[in-house]
Structure 1
Amino acid sequence: MKDGPNIVAIAALIGDHARAEVLTALMSGMALTATELAEIAGVSRQTISSHMAKLLEAGLVAVEAQGRHRYFRLANEDVAQLLESLMNVAFRSGALRLRSSPREPALRKARVCYDHLAGELGVLVYDRLLQAACLTVGEQGMALTAHGQQVLSQIGITPEDLTPGKRPVCRHCLDWSERRHHLAGLLGNLLLLRFTALGWGRRLPDSRVFAFSAGGEQNLLRWLSDADRQHSSKTNHNDIISQGTSC
């Protein structure tokens, strides 16, 4: 019985080498021209135009015209999540590049996954926020707690910034290099923007690498430690009140 959507066409589009290189490059969240994408994919301008037309028709990418140039980007977060999941499966199955980039270690430590932080430090942020009860995971999915809002306000993210729209405030995304989850959704994007605005790190040119400075990484770890310490303090205080009430 042939039920559900047909994945053959989408799988074939992503499975082409040149188009796979294009989609991977667009995982940086940046919009790129056809010329830039042709260079990345190692094909001619005429060939990349054909590839981009197919990706546009399938809804995997979107295009925006600015002056004489047309800029391509991933169509939405769902496409980015699909690609990150495929990278995870490829990594787990041993489908690695024959020659790794010199930036590979930095890419695994911290990188941009569409519009949020991934890699070792991205997973660390997710784990520590869960540990500090800034996030909860239940039957209704993931949610931000009141304590989490207080912790976020310490780096300049306000409740107004977290007004839900078409995308969820927070969700997890399976990280291909760590094989664990990092934080995505609106909150994941806001955190990446704040880390940049605070000067803790920056996106490297022509790369998905997000490079934290030594001081920036220390500030990140200090912020996460403070969140955990504040949670522990509140928990201990509540325990004391509870014990005193029951006596």
Structure 2
Amino acid sequence: MKDGPDIARIGALIGDPARANILSALMSGKALTATELAAEAGITGQTASSHLKKLQEGGLLVQAKQGRHRYFTLSGPDVGTTLEALMGLAARKGHLRTRTGPRDPAMRTSRVCYDHLAGDMAVRIFDSLQSRDFLKITQDKGGLGLTASGEDFVTGFGVDLAGLRLSRRPICRACLDWSERRNHLAGALGAALLVRFQEEGWLRREKDSRVVHISSHGHENLNRLFPSSLD
């Protein structure tokens, strides 16, 4: 066996349909119980427990206990980014679910990707930051950073950039959007921007869903703050 990361193990964990459904359900960033995840995956509670144990042992999930309940979340934003990238690969190769529903258009328009915004508005934001030279390629972890003008822009919007730098997480990371098939912004800044948009009241998350609804006021302000060359 050659040395290096064992991607086969990670691939096997994600590749099981039930486990894939469990992981997809946790892409909302919310902590869910084993019972809720069993319902999402369409399996029994006993079977879900077996899958959850494997996902924890593989380092993809973490568990927290609160009273009699156990809650599960993705182990970190890197897992969410990987899952979103796999969704993009599946979409590009035509591996799409045949079952569609009313949520599908909304999911493509705007949704949560673990802890940051995804969908067409998120891609617009990334493109706007890039076109105005607020982003730059770096050799740091994540491969993406802010220029001086980019730092001025995000701090002017109320993002605590100094606080973000205290974390071990990359400030900026490009995350391939599965529906748009172009990049949106992940990393600590992507998460911080989503929080700021919510604080401004520009968007709200749909209960028990990854779907994000942007108000008309929110659209107006986001389009102004992140202009596009296509406008």
TM-score (norm 2): 0.92
> Which sections of structure 1, spanning at least 5 residues, go unmatched?
229-247
What do the CA deviations read for 1:202-245 (whole angstroms, capped 9, x no partner)? 111111111111111111111123x99xxxxxxxxxxxxxxxxx
User: Is 1:89 aligned to residue 74 of structure 2?
Assistant: no
Match of 1:181 in 2: 183
Please state how far the C-alpha of 1:84 moved relative to its aligned partner. Answer: 1.2
Please state how far the C-alpha of 1:79 moved relative to its aligned partner. Answer: 1.3
> Which sections of structure 2, spanning at least 5 residues, go unmatched?
none
Measure the CA separation in 2 of the matches of 1:137 and 1:164: 21
Match of 1:50 in 2: 50
Measure the CA separation in 1 of the matches of 2:123 and 2:108: 11
Match of 2:13 in 1: 13
Match of 1:115 in 2: 115
Please state how far the C-alpha of 1:138 moved relative to its aligned partner. Answer: 4.4
The code of the aligned residue for 1:156 comes to: G
User: Is 1:28 aligned to residue 18 of structure 2?
Assistant: no
Match of 1:168 in 2: 170
User: Is 1:131 aligned to residue 164 of structure 2?
Assistant: no
Please state how far the C-alpha of 1:195 moved relative to its aligned partner. Answer: 0.6
Maintained 8 Å contact 1:28/1:208: yes
Please state how far the C-alpha of 1:167 moved relative to its aligned partner. Answer: 0.6
What do the CA deviations read for 1:108-144 (whole angstroms, capped 9, x no partner)? 1111111111111111100001112222224553221
Alignment partner of 1:146 out of 142, 145, 148: 148
Please state how far the C-alpha of 1:164 moved relative to its aligned partner. Answer: 4.1
The code of the aligned residue for 1:57 comes to: E
The code of the aligned residue for 1:119 comes to: G
Measure the CA separation in 1 of the matches of 2:216 and 2:156: 20
Maintained 8 Å contact 2:124/2:226: no
* Aligned positions, number: 227
Measure the CA separation in 2 of the matches of 1:9 and 1:134: 38
Measure the CA separation in 1 of the matches of 2:160 and 2:47: 46
Maintained 8 Å contact 1:88/1:177: yes
Maintained 8 Å contact 1:149/1:158: no
- In structure 2, relative to structure 1, the CA distance for the partners of 1:158 and 1:60 (3 Å cut) is closer
Q: Which moved more, 1:83-92 or 1:160-169?
A: 160-169
Please state how far the C-alpha of 1:56 moved relative to its aligned partner. Answer: 0.6
Match of 2:76 in 1: 76
Alignment partner of 1:223 out of 217, 222, 225: 225
Measure the CA separation in 2 of the matches of 1:103 and 1:171: 27
Structure 1 residue runs of 4+, over 6 Å off?
none
TM-score (norm 1): 0.87
Measure the CA separation in 2 of the matches of 1:133 and 1:122: 17
What do the CA deviations read for 1:51-106 (whole angstroms, capped 9, x no partner)? 10111111110001111111100011221122111111110111111111311111
The code of the aligned residue for 2:108 comes to: R
Maintained 8 Å contact 2:173/2:186: yes
Maintained 8 Å contact 1:126/1:183: yes
